[in-house]
């Protein structure tokens, strides 16, 4: 009986130790959750992958300088129900991207929504934004 209790305790401790890094992975600590930035750009690449999809796009400033942005979304299984697809973006597509910017000032962040050139809006809430 005592041996069984030790095994249950050890298994529980092991599961807790393994789950803590999973929670850290989904942290929003790198994003400034108090701000939303909206930029217009040109799609370079759309990576439809787990655990997060990535939208790479170029943004020109007023002086013509190009900044290479990377926006992160949720996993495909979480966004497919709101209109996102593997073929939503193609290189050269013009997009307007709203995101929570990275705290370190690097051009990128967590995407909160995208407006396609045809006016279609993509967000993360069921039924649209």
For 60-77, the pLDDT digits (tens) are 999 999 999 999 999 999
CB 128 within 8 A of CB 121: yes
Token pair recorded at residue 96:
């307007």
Which tens digit of pLDDT belongs to each residue from 11-34? Answer: 555 554 544 444 445 567 899 999
CATH number belonging to domain 37-122: 2.40.50.140
pLDDT on residue 28: 75
In sequence order, the 6+-apart residues with CB closer than 8 A to the CB of 103 are: 29, 30, 31, 32
Which tens digit of pLDDT belongs to each residue from 93-103? Answer: 999 999 999 99
The structure's pTM equals 0.76
């Amino acid at each position: 009986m005592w041996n069984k209790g030790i095994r249950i305790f050890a298994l529980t401790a092991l599961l807790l130790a393994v789950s803590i890094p999973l929670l850290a992975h989904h942290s929003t600590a790198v994003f400034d959750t108090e701000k939303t930035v909206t930029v217009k750009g040109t799609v370079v690449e759309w990576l439809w992958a787990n655990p997060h999809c990535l939208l790479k796009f170029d943004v020109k400033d007023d002086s013509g300088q190009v900044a290479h942005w990377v926006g992160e979304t949720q996993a495909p299984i979480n966004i497919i129900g709101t209109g996102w697809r593997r073929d939503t973006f193609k290189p050269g597509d013009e997009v307007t991207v709203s995101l929570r910017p990275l705290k370190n000032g690097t051009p990128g962040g967590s995407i909160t929504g995208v407006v396609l050139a045809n006016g279609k809006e993509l967000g993360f809430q069921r039924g649209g934004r």
